Amino acid sequence: MQEHDTSWVRTEMALAQQAPAGVRGPLAWVRKNLVGSVGDVILTVLAIALVVMIVPPIINWAFISAQWVGPDRTVCATAAQGGIQPDGWSGACWAFVNAKFGQLMLGRYPIEERWRPILVAILFVVLLVPLLIPRVPRKGLNAILLFLVLPIVAFVLLVGGMFGLPHVETQLWGGLLVTLSLSFVGIAVSLPMGIVLALGRRSKMPIVKTLCVIFIEFVRGIPLITVLFFASVMLPLFLPAGVSFDKYLRALIGVSLFAAAYMAEVIRGGLQAIPKGQYEGADSLGLGYWQKMTLIVLPQALKLVIPGIVNTFIGMFKDTSLVIIISMFDLLGVVKQNFADANWATPQTARSGLIFAAFVFWLFCFGMSRYSMYTERRLDTGHKR
């Protein structure tokens, strides 16, 4: 019989060994992700070719050859086109964007009054940022300031005509100011409208339900342009003689009606996702219809559809660019309007202006969609299976 020495017992975990050389390190990553099979190799080669074909010219065009400042078109035109650049030059004309920056942001808002929209923008950012960061306290006060006080302040500041501020017609508004104000007021109007429509569509009253269904399906079946045409050429005929709306307000009505129909469908999705027990529970507590909805159902439903609401908002934000078709000048409109400026007419102007506008739109939309995804994860309270 052999004696075993059992006095040694391993008391700590064995150290994890490194993975085999074949599955770690950059080389293995490349093998796994880029050249896993023959097909992969071909795809990788094609993709690299694509990237090499596209990226360096874009970087060269947008940064290296780009012209950042300049008084007029000469800096962005080649010698043959009457400029100072050598023939064959091709680069972005950021000088154009630079020169027109004020207009792109605020349109023809009078220069001496421009502090007003800028102040509104600063207030907006100052109030919005803490609201977006979950850790900052006093959300309630913040929300009240942002959603109730700021609109009034912004209205007074932007439109003017009171407290000694000169009136600025909405005709003079333009650029990002129009894009942002249209979409923010639009969402503020279309959200409650959408809630009412969604409740109406799920209502047990047949007439109310039919009307809501007709409105929602009708608006969703036609393009926004026809709605804007409706608002700009038909609406004036609907009103008695001598009463007319401002063009901005008409566009706002068109955009809000349009967004409300989409919003209603998003919210309906949320309402349907609330378990029947919640409705019945509210009924059994003796709550009336509106109490049931505002206290029990809507808070849950709205939370569920935040991503949908944000998506609708992003869609609306992009759609405001259509007001160009009824001769209002949002960011894209101002960019396009300035193509006509003979002082800046070069082959690069259109491209540069459009890419700048695209970048601004992209920044807002991408930011919003990312924030919505973040919120979605944070608010995920286990409704999903």
Q: Torsions phi, psi of 165, nearest 5? A: -85, 130
Using CB under 8 A as the binding rule, whether residue 171 contacts other proteins is answered as yes
| CB of 211 vs other proteins, minimal distance in Å | 7
Closest CA to 263 of 197, 172, 340, 354: 197
CB burial of 90-117 (b: ≥16 within 10 Å; e: otherwise) equals: ebbbbbbbebbeebbbbbbbeeebeebb
Task: Choose the binding region for other proteins from 26-34, 93-101, 131-139, 266-274 (rule: CB under 8 A).
Answer: 26-34
Nearer to other proteins, 1 or 237 (CB): 237
**Are the CB atoms for 261 and 220 separated by under 8 Å?**
yes
Helices within 34-167 (DSSP H only): 38-59, 94-99, 101-106, 115-132, 139-144, 150-159
Among 19, 23, 27, 50, binds other proteins (CB under 8 A): 50
| CB of 376 vs other proteins, minimal distance in Å | 15
Nearer to other proteins, 19 or 234 (CB): 234
Using CB under 8 A as the binding rule, whether residue 108 contacts other proteins is answered as yes
Q: Looking at residues 275 to 314 of the shown chain, list those that interact with other proteins (rule: CB under 8 A).
A: 314
Q: Looking at residues 65 to 104 of the shown chain, list those that interact with other proteins (rule: CB under 8 A).
A: 73, 81-82
Total of chain residues touching other proteins, rule CB under 8 A: 94
| Tokens describing residue 154 | 């912004």
The CA distances from residue 379 to 97, 220, 305, in Å, are 40, 29, 11
| CB of 121 vs other proteins, minimal distance in Å | 19
d(C-alpha 228, C-alpha 252), whole Å: 9
| CB of 382 vs other proteins, minimal distance in Å | 20
Among 85, 312, 346, 372, binds other proteins (CB under 8 A): 346
